[in-house]
Amino acid sequence: MGALPTQSIVSLDEYLTNPEYEHFEWVDGEVIDHHVETYDHSEIQIACGALLREYLRSNPIGRVFSELHCRLRLDGRIRCRLPDVCFVSSARLSAGPHHEGAPDLAIEIRSPQDSVHDLLQKTDEYFTNGASLCWIILPEEKSVLVIRPDRTVRSLRGDDALDAADLLPGFAAKASDLFTLLQERRVTTPSRDPRACAPCGREATRPHSERR
């Protein structure tokens, strides 16, 4: 997710009750816009959620969410993060509309505005608040960084098995499975007719200069 401040300080109560902030994070009083604006980001988010949902159909041990409001505590301060996709075990589901603490598995997809360093710092926040595993998905590299609570990092790609540690027993997927929709879209997207007139898309039967 991108991280660009959008306005001045707002209260936590306003952030949690104002529907305009539904898809925003809240960090030290600042509302942070996600900027999830690319095809790749959205399709990876769908693919990731679908893999986890399929696993949970046969193994009902928790729930999968996208952009779940997670209320984190860091040195007495509250931060509200929205991981792109996450898994929360049944035992850790909160009773209220927002999740207290980090999910068991937090998944962040790098947007063009993100740096890996910033995303790794965000995983520190998740681990401090009870996460068992984090994935950082890198669309351009078609790879996945798997981070454990001891902060060890593994880079996976292609046919490498996605590491779910002991969190999701029997979970089986390859790193490349997260990027299948991207490959399908690029194969099926029709090429533009060179005779078409951009941006209107109509066939150009005469040069523009000759049209009246």
The reported pLDDT for the residue numbered 28 is 82
Structural domains of the chain sorted by starting position, each given as residue range(s) with its CATH number in brackets: 4-210 (3.90.1570.10)
| Helix axes 39-58 and 180-188, enclosed angle (nearest 10) | 130
Q: Are 41 and 8 in contact (CB under 8 A)?
A: no
Q: How far apart are CA 107 and CA 83, in angstroms?
A: 6
CB atoms within 10 A of CB 23: 14
Q: Which residue has the higher pLDDT, 184 or 122?
A: 122
pLDDT band at 204, cuts 50/70/90?
Answer: very low
**Secondary structure (DSSP) of 58-105:** HS-SEEEESS--EEEEETTEEEEE--SEEEEEGGG--SSSSEES--SE
Q: What are phi and psi of 65, to 5 degrees?
A: -135, 155
Q: How far apart are CA 158 and CA 36, in angstroms?
A: 24
The reported pLDDT for the residue numbered 97 is 81
Any residues with CB less than 8 A from the CB of 82 and at least 6 apart, and which? 1, 23, 24, 25, 34, 67, 68, 69, 70
Q: Within 13 Å and on the Cβ side, how many CA atoms surround 136?
A: 26
pLDDT at 81 over 80: yes
Put residue 88 in one of left, alpha, beta given phi > 0 → left and psi -120 to 50 → alpha: beta
Residues of the chain with pLDDT > 70, as a percent, come to: 80
The answer, as to whether pTM is greater than 0.75, is: yes
The reported pLDDT for the residue numbered 19 is 85
The reported pLDDT for the residue numbered 171 is 95
Q: Which helix (H) or strand (E) holds 122?
A: helix 116-128
Q: Which residue has the higher pLDDT, 113 or 3?
A: 113
Per-residue pLDDT reduced to its tens digit, 160-172:
999 897 899 999 9
Q: Are 94 and 104 in contact (CB under 8 A)?
A: no
Nearest in space to 135 (alpha carbons), one of 180, 172, 85: 85
Q: Within 13 Å and on the Cβ side, how many CA atoms surround 88?
A: 23
152's tokens? 């060890």
